[in-house]
Amino acid sequence: MKRFSERRESVTVEERSGRPATSRTEENVAKILQIVRENHWLTIRSIAEQVNIDRETVRKILNEDLDRRKVCSKMVSKELTEEQKQRRVTICQDLLERQDDILGHVITGDET
């Protein structure tokens, strides 16, 4: 608001002073993707040390650029593969077909 009260008319983003962001490059994204494909058990800290960039930048690349999230200390894709989806369907169908009435023993609750 202050700049507009000083007669600024443009709403476009102007270049800022300071150091430009150089860590989140396509080259680093490709390096991190290769590292994760080779060993998905690595921590963000160890990946950051291998690529020699900040841990927060590695986290952003994994989450935002590579669409990964942390599950039990390993980075995995957010979406299930078709094979994983089919396996879930098969397991659910097997449970429904069981003769021991397993669903009759399930207790549910509502926390509201």
Which amino acid belongs to residue 85? K
3-class DSSP assignment, residue 69: strand
Give me the residues of the chain with pLDDT under 50, please: none
Residue 27: its pLDDT value, please?
Answer: 93
**Phi, psi (degrees; rounded to nearest 5) at 11:** -105, 5
Q: Which residue has the tokens 């952003």?
A: 60
Residue 76: its pLDDT value, please?
Answer: 65
CA distance 51 to 40: 15
* Total Cβ atoms within 10 A of residue 62: 20
pTM above 0.75, yes or no: no
Please name each of the domains of the chain with its CATH number.
22-103 (1.10.10.10)
